[in-house]
Structure formats: C-alpha cells, structure tokens
Amino acid sequence: QQQVKQSPQSLIVQKGGISIINCAYENTAFDYFPWYQQFPGKGPALLIAIRPDVSEKKEGRFTISFNKSAKQFSLHIMDSQPGDSATYFCAAVYYNQGGKLIFGQGTELSVKP
C-alpha cells in the first residue's frame, strides 16, 4: 500500500536548470516530511526536511514547498549540477509509530553537462 506517491520516476535536466520532483501523501497523520538523496552504491542520506506547519524551507540550492491542504510537497533543485545526479526519495514520518518513515518510489535525476 503506497501512502506516498512520487513523480516523475525519472528526470533529465540540463546543467543550470531547475529540477522539480513532486510527492503526494494520503494520510494526514504524517508528522514530518524529509527528502533523501541516494548515490549509486550508497544508502540514502537526508537532504532536507520540512514540518507540515511550514510552507517552504530552503537550504542552499534545495527548496521544499509544502501544500498541506492539497497534501502535496515538492523538491526544487535550483542551478542543477551534474553532481546532483542521484535518486531522490520523498518520505513521510509517523511520530506515533516510532518514527516510521514511509518512502515514495524514488526519482532518478540525471543532470546533463
């Protein structure tokens, strides 16, 4: 049962462009929304996260936009670089279930030079 839906499955962006990845969730009991970045051969690593009472969070070139009423959130990567090429996962956290993270399907991002 997929509770967090992510799109697109893959994305190709030119260097310097904006990469946008979208996620939608179903369960309003989620408490926190992190994004993870995974390079080939490595485990996922936390990139940026947002609480549901905040509409936007920016860290460097990475921005999360959050729309609570629509139950959607997105990751924007500004000035995308070839080094950003990786798989990105959105996730949602249940605090009252031991902090269980439910991940989206993942988006494979390729930034072309």
Nearest approach, Cβ of residue 16 and other proteins (Å)? 29
Nearer Cβ to other proteins (91/111): 91
Of 28-87, which residues contact other proteins (CB under 8 A)? 32-34, 41-46, 49
Beta strands in 1-113 (DSSP E): 4-7, 10-14, 19-25, 33-38, 45-50, 56-59, 62-67, 72-77, 86-94, 100-103, 107-112
Residues of this chain that interact with other proteins (CB under 8 A) are 32-34, 41-46, 49, 89, 91, 93-95, 97-106
